[in-house]
Amino acid sequence: MRALKPFSVAVLFLLVASFFSCEVSNQSVSVLDDQNFNKNWLFSKGSFKEGSSIVFDDSAWRSLNLPHDWAIEGPFDKKYNARTGGLPVHGEAWYRKHFTISKDHQGKRISIEFDGAMNEAKVWLNGEYVGERPYGYIGFELDLTKHIKLGEENVIAVQLFPKDLAARWYSGAGIYRNVRLKINNPIHIPQYGTYITTPEVSKEKALVNIATTIANLSGVTSKVHLKTQIKDAAGAVVAEHSSEIDVNTESTTPIQITVENPKLWDIKNPVLYKAVSTVSVDGHVTDEYNTDFGIRTIEFDRENGFLLNGNSVELNGVCMHHDQGPLGAAINYRAKQRQMQIMQDMGVNALRTSHNPPSPEILKVCDELGIVVIVEAFDEWKMGKVENGYNKYFDEWHEIDLRDMIKRDRNHPSVIMWSIGNEILEQSKKDGWKLAKHLNDICHDEDNTRPTTVGFNYFPAPFVNKLADQVDIVGMNYWPERYNEIMEENPNMIVYGSETSSLTSSRGVYHLPIEFTQKHETNHVSSYDVIVGPPWAYAPDVEFDAQAKEPRSLGEFIWTGFDYLGEPTPYGGRDNSTNGYWNDDWPSRSSYFAPVDLCGFPKDRYYLYQSQWTETPMVHVLPHWNWEGKEGEKIPVFAYTNAEEVELFVNGKSYGKKVKGKDLVEIPSEYHDFNKALYKSKYRLSWQVPYQPGTLKVVAYKSGKEVATKEVKTAGAPAKVKLLADRHNIKANGEDLSFITVRIEDESGNLCPNADNLLTFSIQGEGVLAAVGSGDQTSLESFQSNKRKAFNGMCLLVVKSSEATGEIKIEASSNGLTSERLIVKTN
């Protein structure tokens, strides 16, 4: 690999214009007054020969608001592919919207912008074809100007035709991201119209370079005045610049502005600024374009790893698919924010958007929370992994898609790398390096401030075939013991774990005895966190050791942060009788990989990572302590802590202290470089405890001082329902969410860890049911029903606000249990 020049950049964040707080836009333009273009669409599944016609009768179609994912509505069915969630992600469907634009907009440029439509989207306006985009993960804009009828009704029609096995996981289906109608003056800043970097950053000043593109569709050359102001978080102007530009059809103008005493964007203090670009002609403002940004430097160094603002940062990262569990793929800002807040509490500081371009919302969340991001473009190049994958569109669309992804996302301070592929099959081809170089060059052409990367998995193929030489940073999937070898044999390479562990588990499930067995008759996996599942996987402990042995590694991205729909490994094998569908172990229909279940409830493994990635004193103990019928039998008790030692008490009796790193725990293991045997972990503590009902208590000590405790009690019979809202006040905008944890408790308020009671929910007032779930990877219950069985004592209720202020009155009941009521206010 060529010598890597340090990437020292301070990059700015993308501009935002929103109808509601959940909607992220690319520019602030003259939008339709009091109209949200997500509203009042008509939808129907099926094939409609005249579906694009302005006179087509759609009066019987269903009315809904976007974003919308039709697949999450179900039903689950064995005839669908369990590898993509057992849900109907395929089929033809249409969306139509009737709207009117005032004649006052005569002479304006009118376009529609989709943040993503899944997939094979084709768009018509008033019966005239205006464009298409096959890749469902990428945003696109289409010019509608010549087909718009001002002062009359217009009809926009969108046909989608997603196919099964277009991805290796749940993709969702529909117009699942936000849509905007944009009305511009002929002279304006177009989509992705700013590119901002800072070539020099210090405590005293930052040099801010802003390249602004101005489009002139008036037909005559105009002298344009461009004023750029930089505002701080309080809205005060801290710097500005003005220039005069002659614009014919399009002009890109670079300027430089100095910000004195800048506040830097950082993981612990993610400060954001705003650049406001105002375009005027003859004293009249024709456009205003807003770019939120953060000033920071990034550098990747072989010896010192990743440096943010000159400080070394170990990447404690997660890979994440785009679905939001029971909510499906339809984007929701609060859902993404909650996901990343849960991750951050685990100690996560980095995200890899595996394996596709993310929504604007998730990048906005990461900008605001201080989480760095690897933005990934493709799971396939020319060689396909699934029968209807991206390889079908690669030749025609890859360069357009990749360039648009980078232009859209390159101003986000959170984005630190561009990933051009994941586990691509071209690794095994001798000439695969040519395609890697081609994609790498596109990235550097659009943005030379960030390095490129790939997640490689076929060791040593990418090194033998020289693909690894074509990217700036080498990601390795599931080869923890080889980091040092790779760096020693390739003295110019920088390496990190782009996918790690792939351990599997089910929340609250404990199978005894602890053993290698991967499958269980319940289709669940034990939460003792030793059953790895697939042959490439290994326990988190292995990666902790690997990162410690090779401190030059940038860090790791575990597979995955949240459980996701589809890919129910280790369950599911190929069934040739169903055309290659993976349904042998039905009803397994979602993943087991993450330390957090599909609903966002932490599994035990969450606390194992927290014990390595956080500093606030913590201790966790497992399993639950309800083992009726096993009185006197020895139960393995584990503790995870970031303290020095832990003491276990059972019903007040001490079972002794264990020292982290000294009292090793042997766990079953088997992976690439470790034959089936016991792996000695220094990250866990354990005791063998004869079961008797009562209380488990762990006390963590540092320097002999108690710093954290945790108790688990034997629960009595289920007696009542408990509701716990993450937020009791939400926005009255028709989009905001309250996530409500539902617990089955005994009379004393202890969680009943084996309870599976059926719950019924009633919601009245200014809100509706958005989703229900339980985290059970085998449940075929609808995510949109008002009923749900608890899974190991818990389930989740999600309510969505209306657009009116008031109260949402929620009640949860179950036969034989005391009901619970809760009020969430909308403001």
Q: Which residues are catalytic?
A: 423, 499
Q: Which two tokens stand for residue 99?
A: 């709207």
Neighbours of 369 (CB within 10 A): 18
Helix (H) or strand (E) holding 667: strand 665-671
Rounded to an integer, what distance in angstroms lies between the CA atom of residue 424 and that of residue 195?
A: 30
Q: What is the DSSP letter of 76?
A: -
Helix (H) or strand (E) holding 433: helix 432-446
The rounded distance, in Å, linking the Cα atoms of 750 and 495 is 46
Task: Report the alpha-carbon distance of residue 266 to residue 296 in Å, rounded.
Answer: 7
The 3-class SS string of 380-392 reads: CCCCCCCCCCHHH
Q: How far are the Cα atoms of 140, 211, 243, 538 from residue 559, in angstroms, in the given order?
A: 29, 37, 49, 11
Residue 153: how many other CB atoms lie within 10 Å: 11
**In 3D, which of 134, 129, 132 has the Cα closest to residue 146?**
129
Q: What is the SS3 string spanning 563-613?
A: CCECCCCCCCCCCHHHCCCCCCCCCCCECCCCCECCCCCECHHHHHHHHHH
Alpha carbon distance 763, 166 (integer Å): 37
Contact 365, 770 (CB under 8 A): no
Q: Quick one: which of 748, 639, 632 has its CA closest to 684?
A: 639
What is the DSSP code (8-state) at residue 268? S
Cross-strand pairs, 210: 196, 255
Q: Which residues make Cβ contacts (< 8 Å) with residue 753, sequence separation at least 6?
A: 508, 624, 626, 715, 792, 793
CA distance 732 to 826: 5
Give the Cα separation of 231 and 56 in Å (integer): 49
* Burial bucket for residue 450 (CB in 10 Å: 0-12, 13-18, 19+): buried
Please report, for the chain, how many H helices and E strands are present, in that order: 8, 47
What's the rounded Cα separation, in Å, for the pair 451 and 443?
Answer: 9
Instruction: Return the biggest CA–CA distance within the chain.
Output: 90
Q: Read out DSSP for 324-391?
A: -GGGTTS--HHHHHHHHHHHHHHT--EEE-TTS---HHHHHHHHHHT-EEEEE--S-SSS-SSTTSGG
Strands (E), 264-342: 273-281, 284-293, 298-301, 305-308, 311-313, 315-319
DSSP code, position 204: S
CA dist 177 and 645 (Å) reads 48
Q: State residue 465 phi and psi, 5-degree precision.
A: -95, 5
Closest CA to 605 of 537, 693, 546, 658: 537
Question: What's the CA gap between 115 and 102, in Å, rounded?
Answer: 25
Neighbours of 645 (CB within 10 A): 19
What's the rounded Cα separation, in Å, for the pair 328 and 654?
46
Q: What is the token pair recorded at 414? A: 């959170």
The number of residues in the chain equals 827
**CA dist list (Å): 731 to 463, 728, 797, 825:** 52, 10, 18, 8
Q: Which amino acid is at 491?
A: P
Rounded Cα gap, residues 573 and 107, in angstroms: 59
Closest by CA to 516, choosing from 496, 538, 498, is 538
